[in-house]
Structure 1
Amino acid sequence: MSVLAEVFREPTLAGVARELATLAAPLWLAALVGLLIGWAWRPRWAAAVVDVAGNNHHEPVAAAAAPATVADHFAIVPRAKPASVAPVTEEEELAVSTPDLMHLRRVVEEKDGGPAWTHMMDRTLQTFRYQAWKREPQNGPPQYRSSTIFEDASPDVVRDFFWDDDFRISNTWDDMLLEHDTLEECTKTGTMVVRWVRKFPFFCSDREYVIGRRIWASGKTYYCVTKSVPRPSVPRCSKPRRVDLYYSSWCIRPVESRNGDGAMTACEVLLFHHEDMGIPWSIAKLGVQQGMWGCVKRIEPGLRAYQTARASGEPISKCAAMAHANTKFVADELTASENNTEAGSTSNNAQAEKPKHWTGNLPKVFVIGSVVALACTFDKGLLTKALVFGTARRFAGPGRR
């Protein structure tokens, strides 16, 4: 206030304006530096907000970045043409393609390079056994892996059961699914794009999913991939809220019955699942831990009802019929093709790596230097300097997000 009083004692209006400009200059400089820092290190959610506000006719950045986020959490090798799989030209036009199969196979074999799995649950009932694991990547929601072994169940029926959205709703074994629509389908490969609306607890709005899905078959083993896909043609609404990161895939295969007779009459379902539901991950983890077994127990009665309906000759739904249009492949040939692709990719990456020149850090040095200079000239208070220097350290550090 004393400084302002001195300013207004100037004899002329021009003098007052000049002194006010001099007083406000550090504030404008701080705002400019703040804008530079915010633009250089803006988080993904801020980019999405800007995009929604300025371009309502485009898909938000979060949706467009969803496939890249999935790739960050699960390393997917570049697309290649494996033997006995559809040509690359066709694959590139599909919502789910060969790299997704390669990735799922690596996860099944625990060769995807992710963190180690931690055991969560082991439950055994008369007709099935359930085990679950989880892991927590540094950047991404918790991931879950489960193994469910159903006695007296064939992989073909189990495959159709999980693909049949109509039966999910009519039987209510999946009581979270409220509605489903088929947006795209390829009858040759069985690839589909579907829209789901799932019910969430009362304190959350319902969630909307746009999912691409496809099945590959190697003998009696089925690899069923479902994941979120960006579709700008599907308009967003405030309710239900769109989920942009979703991955839920199965490996369904015959296994030996626990009866001990050596017969392969049981079926194992290996499930790999993670999603970003838009709620804190710690709360989501707690909800999964508390509700997992209750949800799993509903699956087995639903499967038995589905087996009974199929045995009685009831016609299958269109969703289940699409599960029959799966893509056949030879596992050994696909593995050999994947190994060759990975070897070529490693060689290219080794050639591309070059030492970085110190001039590449000039933008960061300029911004941090500006912040430091501002801290030294803006005012003499320790609080201001601590705040500005702390901000500089945060943005200069390797762990910014």
Structure 2
Amino acid sequence: MPLPLFPTPTLIIPIITDLAVFITPLWIAVIVGVILGWAWKPKWAFDPKHALQKLRPPRSPNPPHHTAFTYPTTTTAATAAARVKDAGGNAVVTEHDLLHLWKLVEEKDGGPAWNQMMDRSTPTMRYQAWRRDPESGPPQYRSRTVFEDASPELVRDFFWDDEFRLKWDDMLIHASTIQECALTGAMMVHWVRKFPFFCSDREYIIGRRIWDAGQIYYCVTKGVPCPSMPRHNKPKRVDLYYSSWCIRPVKSRKDGQLTSCEVLLFHHEDMGIPWEIAKLGVRQGMWGAVKKFDPGLRTYEKQRTSGVPLSPCARAANINTKISMDYLSSLENTTTDLLEIENEDSSDKPVGRNIPKLLIVGGAIALACTLDQGLLTKKWPANSLLQWNKELRCYLLLWSYYCLLWI
């Protein structure tokens, strides 16, 4: 029977009803997407005080340089009283952070096993990388880089020198010093890093300090609060940031002598994007960033050999606290496990960040099977004006939930 050109009132009402049922899951998808997107916003976005801070004139990120600083060669743990402090008067990097890094290096942190991601090498460098996914917090990365014919002191200064890093690290577009301590070499620095075109740049307030255990350097860098640096919409500030490394001499693969340098790096951060997407980006861009290390180090070595004066950051790298392995052991015996503290800090993320995919898929199937007495199970009448509408509704419903899987 041919269909009428103009639908009769008896057909219009079912069409309107079906369209209403069709639009409902789309609105549900939109609402869920908005909730998830809002859940991914950092905690400071919920604080109206930051909106008032934007109306105030920004303070200068660089305090006046203290030209009267004198840089002692080393200090001892007993005299390490003067440190860079936060707004509450607390040291931003302490022996607790040292113990945490030492446990990571010695594989005593109690975390999950590491899964190898990469093993690449050049004639003068070898690079290995691992990743693990803790129960809470962003994915964590561990890497081992061995430089041939390089001293630990040179590598230490190379990674600490922000002024020179701007020349070889094309992701770093701004670096400045907020505070520094002439006694311990501890620093608070401000970084802005460039992200891919689909993400805004990221801003970091980093506290850092170096301990010297006899040519074994424990270099701690981590995100710290800084109320004097107001937040802005762009660049977006990264609060959870940890990137620390241990630098020590190792045997060369050429002659077996201690002429090579090993760098063990431990890194994780919450960049404000879904962690699965972040893991994919790290995997794709890892080697492209790492292969710049060795040419940059060799250029830095030539510059140092030519007698170029040390930058302020490189001078600070030469101010470190001397410790012994016995001191580290005593810290382990008298200090609580800092890995639990790190996990507690990283567990402040919003709840909706990692929704199990099985839950979303199950919800899509349940909704599809219950709407209109079962969209997937109902036997549709043939040659009906409503058949095309129902098929389109079913496909769009499933498509909307498929999009949710990638939010």
Shift of 1:116: 0.7
Work out the CA distance in 2 between the residues paired with 1:275 and 1:161: 22
CA distance change for structure 1 residues 292 and 110 in 2, over 3 Å: closer, same or farther?
same
Report the counterpart of residue 98 of structure 2 in structure 1: 101
Match of 1:160 in 2: 157
Check if 1:136 corresponds to 2:130.
no
Matched residues in 1 for 2:287 and 2:201: separation?
22
Matching of residue 51 in structure 1 with residue 47 in structure 2: yes
Q: For 1:137-170, what per-residue CA distance to the aligned partner results, in whole angstroms no more than 9, with x for missing partners?
A: 121111100000000000000000000011011x
The list of structure 1 runs, each at least 4 consecutive aligned residues, that deviate by more than 3 angstroms after superposition, is 42-50, 53-58, 83-93, 340-343
1:52 deviates by: 2.8
Q: Name the structure 1 match of 2:109.
A: 112
**Equivalent in the alignment of 2:203:** 208
Query: Residue 335 of structure 2 aligns to a residue in which SS?
Result: helix
RMSD: 2.6
After superposition, residues 210-225 of structure 1 pair within 5 angstroms as 210-225=205-220
How big is each residue's C-alpha offset from its partner over 1:84-120, in whole Å with a ceiling of 9 and x where there is no partner? 4556796973211110000000001111111110011
User: Larger % of helix: which?
Assistant: 1
How many equivalent pairs are there? 279
Structure 1 residue 337: Cα displacement: 3.5
Q: TM-score, normalised on structure 1?
A: 0.65
Percent of residue pairs bearing the same amino acid type: 60
Does 1:285 pair with 2:255?
Answer: no
Give the whole-Å Cα distance in 2 for the aligned partners of 1:279 and 1:86: 42
Secondary structure at 1:257 match in 2: coil
Cα distance in 2 between the residues matched to 1:47 and 1:129: 39
Answer 1 or 2: higher relative contact order, Cα 8 Å, separation at least 6.
2
Tell me, yes or no, if the aligned pair for 1:94 and 1:191 is still in contact at 8 Å: no
**Of 204, 225, 228, which aligns to 1:230?**
225
Map 1:306-385 onto structure 2 (within 5 A): 306-342=300-336
Unaligned runs of 5+ in 1: 1-41, 59-82, 347-381, 384-401
**CA distance 1:125–1:46, change in 2 (3 Å):** closer
SS of residue paired to 2:150: coil
State the 1:128 CA deviation.
1.0
Give, in whole Å, the separation in 1 of the partners of 2:53 and 2:92: 22
Q: Summarize the Cα distance change of 1:177–1:342 in structure 2 as closer, same or farther, 3 Å threshold.
A: closer
Residue 291 of structure 1 and its aligned partner are, at CA, apart by 0.7
Structure-to-structure mapping, 1:7-26, within 5 angstroms:
none
Task: Label 1:242 to 1:341 Cα distance change in 2 as closer, same or farther (>3 A).
Answer: closer
Distance in 2 between the 1:43 and 1:201 partners?
Answer: 22
Q: How much does 1:175 deviate?
A: 0.4
Deviations 1:33-91, CA, capped at 9 Å, x for gaps: xxxxxxxxx97968644423687459xxxxxxxxxxxxxxxxxxxxxxxx945567969
Residue 48 of structure 2 aligns to a residue whose secondary structure is helix
Hey, what's the Cα distance between the residues in 1 that align with 2:228 and 2:40?
Answer: 22
Q: Which residue of 2 aligns with 1:66?
A: none
Compute the TM-score of the two structures, normalised by the length of structure 2.
0.64
User: Does the CA contact (< 8 Å) of 1:84 and 1:330 recur in 2?
Assistant: no
